[in-house]
Amino acid sequence: MTKGQGGWIRRYRAAPEAGVQVVCLPHAGGSATYFRPMAMALSPTAEVLAVQYPGRMDRVDEPYAGDFEELTERTFAAVRREVDRPMALFGHSMGALLAFQVAKRLEAEGVLPLALFASGAQPPGRSLTRHTHPPTDEELIADLATLGGTDERLLDHPDMRVLVLSALRADYRILESCRRDDAALACPVVSLTGDNDPVVSVDDAAAWANHTADRFDLHVFPGKHFYLDDHWAGVSTVVTKHLGAHEPTRMG
């Protein structure tokens, strides 16, 4: 595993011969390691660059981003610094909203991503937060139980419990500052979701069609919010298929 400059990017399976890079952005409370299975599955066809947000894992001593705009700008800067080939963006849950904003920034600079893959997320024009006040530990733990994706045994260890809940609370606060956005990207959008997601309906996932002026596709997998855990191979097949369908393009 290698780091990118500044500590934002993780390469769990370097693929210098790959013609495409896929930038993966984690969910609220998540870390870059979540995308290790995708890195293994896509290599050597595509190289995965997983974003590590500050304040977690090996960046635990760094402060969390102050708000969604700061997280967007710093992530965008890391992507521009590290990406050196045609690229796509893949974000899960909060990461999908962040990927959307990073794609907008790229397109504003004349760089058209091959695609935006929005996984397990309501589109950016919808309600973004699950709480209207700073959530308690009990509310956060209830969310983790509802959504899955976190080994609940971690919460049995006081130090790990603090780290897990602190990251999730910080990301919820960041999401509260995320503005509604009805813009449409110039690049294709592919929406992926679980058919039994308790917070994102299939109709919600389909509404991402309003956020592209290009092609839109919807892929529904069996499962809940973290359907990916049981379908990394299928998700990677979807990504490979869509990357192969679009030629690299540069705008302007």
- Cα 186 versus chain centre, distance: 19
Question: At residue 183, what are phi and psi to the nearest 5 degrees?
Answer: -65, 160
Asked if residues 31 and 57 have their Cβ atoms less than 8 Å apart, the reply is yes
DSSP string spanning 84-141? -S-EEEEEETHHHHHHHHHHHHHHHTTEE-S-EEEES---TTS---S-SSPPPHHHHH
* 3 state SS of 219: strand
**Active-site choice (27, 92, 219, 225):** 225
Of 93, 119, 191, 236, the active-site residue reads 93
Whether 27 is catalytic is: no
**Which residues on adjacent β-strands are paired with residue 63?**
none
The reply to whether 93 belongs to the active site is: yes
Rg over alpha carbons for the chain, rounded to the nearest Å, is 17
Catalytic sites, residue numbers: 93, 225
